[in-house]
Amino acid sequence: MTAAMLSPAIDATADVVLSVRDLQVSARSHQGLIPLVDGLSFDLHRGETLAIAGESGSGKSITSLACMGLLPAPAVRVTGGSIRFGETELTTLPEKTMQAMRGARIAMIFQEPMTALNPVMSIGRQLIEAIRAHEPLSVSQARARALEAVKAVRLSQPEKRLEQYPHELSGGMRQRVMIAMAIALRPAVLIADEPTTALDVTVQREVLDLLRDLQKELGTAVILITHDMGVVAEMADRVIVMRKGKMVETASTVDLFDAPKEQYTRDLLAAVPRIGAGALRPEPEARDVLVRFDDVSVRFPIRQGLLGRVAARVHAVEHVSLEIFKGETLSLVGESGCGKSTMAKALAGLVPYTGRIEINGQAMHDLDAAGRKAIRRDLQIVFQDPMAALDARMTVGELIREPLVIHGIGTPAEQKARVRELLERVEMSPSAYNRYPHQFSGGQRQRICIARALALKPKLIVCDESVAALDVSIQAKVLDLLRDLQKESGVTYLFISHDMAVVENISDRVAVMYLGQIVEMGTRAQLFGNPRHPYTRRLLDAVPVPDPRRERVPGLRLAGEIPSPVWKVGEGPERAQLVDIGGGHLVAQASAPGLS
């Protein structure tokens, strides 16, 4: 069955399906009520996509939660205005009535499906439970409806997916399950809150294409909440730009991108990374090797049975060889699970590996504990989630000072002076010294992580998706900071990312990974100007372009199942290759058995 079989239960005569007027949402504090959304008004029309864009804290998600009746009351509540679904006023609706409305008439796709799905219930059971909560169907009838929805979102092996649990699915598959749950009840309004922010660019492309196709077939009105202006350009009919709870500007997507009226909107659009807009970076004159990977493999055992025997292995990295030159930025790109972060962990000595890794000519496996500690002064990592990387019980000053204390560098007074110097370098106020991580924004916390990474004056910094979760304007500032630091100190970066536009803007060379293997490597100009491998072309084709007038040309799509990186003991892992079979499709094929 297809999505067309899920006929929409929408009154075709009603053009406006959701009307918001002068919405006020406030949070309770010791100082009184703090406005989170202030005077927002808009109409959502049947079959249209309205994007609400802006930076973190602008009020985008609070607006969506208010429409769904999911504000965390009494701490946060609607304090004024109106939200009307047809003739129904939602702000005064009793919770029991709102529960019947929620999901059936207004549905929501959340940013992180793993937090929205119950980890101890199968996918099928969760879908059946949601359907039966709103419609008087038997279990078998609800299961048939659930299967219909799973097929509509193009999940492979739909019957099998109903029996699986959330942890058994990839991020993209979990997001498709969330979409299936949302459309199963044929809602009139679908709110998508950052539905692709955490996804790889190719999975993002598939999810966006799916949403667009389902909307055409179902006639659903969509509110798309995002800070990705490329996604806005490709998906939205109209745009609302928000800042600090207020509407800054609203216009059709074409008009907004062609002639934004407000300076904030212009700044937001200017900060969007665009492929082809990166400044020319001359190749470093000195080509001294800082890091060398020589035939490196990383495999994780899967144990089964009472005795815990190794039954299979995950081949996360397979026979990778590459060099990183001093003073350059080498980007490592690919989808989740391809082995990017595992390579970084192997470099830092955090996972066992076979082969040889050298830093400054020293082989890591030849070093004793003292040698490894000494060489780690030259290697620091900036992680994707700064809040998870910072101890919430320590002040910023203590966090940045900690590496100096561990390595016994300087007196306490010298260490404090160094911390204040680093705070100034990453454009943080000296007053941050005695404050805690939770008192800062996401961009400020990432600056704190960068300051801590710089404390030991390392030769190499690994940036592992370090700007993936940041708003575009904050992302641009962090990338500028990384470039400035490289010019001043000559630090080398291993930049791990799935955002090809960011990679194009910061890299000297790029290595593309697929299922644990390097499938293409070259200078930025070579890789973006003349990609040779079909997988590289697929990555580039999937990047959202912040130009609503650009007619999208269908890119390469993967046909069939992706080969598994898990191999049973005694079986040799086969090297997966992507072959262009024409018609805009790639097929994953196995070839040339590797070493077992």
From the list 84, 473, 49, 38, the residue with the least C-alpha distance to 252 is: 49
As a whole-number percent, the residues of the chain with pLDDT over 90 amount to 39
Q: Looking at domain 289-520, which of 3.40.50.300, 3.40.50.11780, 3.90.1150.10, 1.10.3720.10 is its CATH number?
A: 3.40.50.300
pLDDT tens digit sequence for 493-517: 999 988 888 899 899 999 999 888 8
Amino acid at the residue 593: P
Beta strand pairing call for 509-514 and 517-523: antiparallel
Determine the pLDDT at residue 201.
78
Does the structure show a pLDDT above 90 at 172?
no
More confident: 253 or 571: 253
Q: What is the mean pLDDT of residues 422-426?
A: 88
Three-state SS letters, 17-39: EEEEEEEEEEEEECCEEEEEEEE
Task: Spell out the domain ranges in the chain.
Answer: 3-270, 289-520
More confident: 148 or 175: 148
From the list 132, 131, 226, the residue with the least C-alpha distance to 183 is: 131
Q: What is the mean pLDDT of residues 302-320?
A: 81
Amino acid at the residue 95: E
Determine the pLDDT at residue 210.
80
More confident: 437 or 29: 437
Beta strand pairing call for 238-243 and 246-252: antiparallel
pLDDT category at 567 given cuts 50, 70, 90 is low
Does the structure show a pLDDT above 60 at 193?
yes
Spatial distance between the Cα atoms of 522 and 533, rounded to a whole number of angstroms: 11
Q: What is the mean pLDDT of residues 58-87?
A: 91
Q: What is the mean pLDDT of residues 529-541?
A: 88
Does the structure show a pLDDT above 60 at 111?
yes
Of the candidate ranges 20-29, 504-513, 541-550, the one whose mean pLDDT is the lowest? 541-550
Helices (H), 455-499: 472-489
Q: What is the mean pLDDT of residues 584-593?
A: 48
Q: Do domains 3-270 and 289-520 have the same CATH topology?
A: yes
Q: What is the mean pLDDT of residues 446-456?
A: 89
Phi, psi of 322 (to 5 degrees): -165, 165
Does the structure show a pLDDT above 60 at 594?
no
More confident: 172 or 17: 17
Q: What does the block give as tokens for 577?
A: 């290759």
User: How much is the mean pLDDT over the chain?
Assistant: 84
Determine the pLDDT at residue 270.
85
pLDDT category at 15 given cuts 50, 70, 90 is confident
pLDDT tens digit sequence for 250-298: 999 999 999 999 999 998 888 887 776 655 556 555 579 999 999 999 9
Inter-helix orientation angle 412-425/396-406, to 10° = 120
pLDDT tens digit sequence for 53-72: 988 778 898 999 999 999 98
Determine the pLDDT at residue 6.
44
Spatial distance between the Cα atoms of 309 and 289, rounded to a whole number of angstroms: 41
Q: What is the mean pLDDT of residues 349-371?
A: 87
Does the structure show a pLDDT above 60 at 578?
no
Beta strand pairing call for 566-568 and 309-325: antiparallel
Does the structure show a pLDDT above 60 at 218?
yes
Superfamily name with CATH number, domain 3-270: P-loop containing nucleotide triphosphate hydrolases (3.40.50.300)
Contact 579, 534 (CB under 8 A): yes
Q: What is the mean pLDDT of residues 228-254?
A: 92
- E strand or H helix at 270: helix 263-270
Determine the pLDDT at residue 573.
52
Of the candidate ranges 77-86, 135-144, 242-251, 424-433, the one whose mean pLDDT is the lowest? 424-433
Q: What is the mean pLDDT of residues 399-415?
A: 93
Q: What is the mean pLDDT of residues 373-387?
A: 83
Of the candidate ranges 320-324, 350-354, 546-550, the one whose mean pLDDT is the lowest? 546-550
Q: What is the mean pLDDT of residues 581-592?
A: 49
C-alpha of 13 from chain center: 38
